[in-house]
Chains A and B, each alone.
Chain A
């Protein structure tokens, strides 16, 4: 039961170009979305998040777009840099009434920035 789907296992982008990573979700109760970056043998590092009351959030080179009607979000990285090469995870949090909910992760997209 994949509630958060990242359908591209890998993505290769030229340095300096825009990287677009996509994520789809099925659970209508998700209202908070996060992107994490992960290098091998390290923990996920938080990149950027967005609440369902917004449709865009920007932080430097990173912008996340949320389309609630399509249950789709995307992460844009521009310009892409070699250090951006990593696995990117989309994660979501749901309204369940509790105050400490676990995140549901996608399987990740391996972004490769080519020089």
Chain B
């Protein structure tokens, strides 16, 4: 069964450093998402991406965040200058087709720790 994959599984970085989190969505999916879950809190939507542009973003997704689909398979989240509060589990998700009411499938996540 096709799966969303994410790399790395864990990343430790120093405050102020740039990080890039990588995702390979399910191959025939058209919509891509990033979510995060700070330890002990709920999963929060960051951004959605379709047709090579951002469709929607939350207020969490400020100027230090960016997303890109550099090729036909990868979908990346870049955090330009990490802060301590960026420490969280980051999940990538994807869904198929054009109807909004299609299931989003999640990857296993990248645990980011900012020191």
Contact = CB atoms under 8 A, between A and B. Distances in A.
A89 B33 CA distance: 17
Contacts, number: 78
A68 B8 CA distance: 41
A101 B103 contact: no
Interface string A38-67: 000111111001010000000000000000
Nearest to A105: B43
A59 to B, nearest CB: 12
Nearest to B10: A41
B14 to A, nearest CB: 23
Contacts of B4: 43
Interface of A: 31-32, 34, 36, 41-46, 49, 51, 89, 91, 93, 95-96, 98-108
A110 to B, nearest CB: 12
A59 B7 CA distance: 32
B65 interface: no
A49 B95 CA distance: 14
Nearest to B6: A43
B45 A99 contact: no
Contact of B101 (A51, A98, A105): A51
A102 B4 CA distance: 17
Interface residues of B, number: 30
Contact of B108 (A43, A49, A96): A43
B109 A98 contact: no
Nearest to B43: A105
B48 A32 contact: no
Contacts of B107: 43
22 contacts: A31-B101, A34-B103, A43-B4, A43-B6, A43-B106, A43-B108, A51-B101, A89-B42, A91-B43, A93-B100, A95-B100, A96-B56, A100-B33, A100-B48, A100-B49, A101-B48, A101-B55, A101-B100, A102-B46, A103-B45, A105-B44, A105-B45
Given A99-B50, A107-B42, A46 B55 contact: no
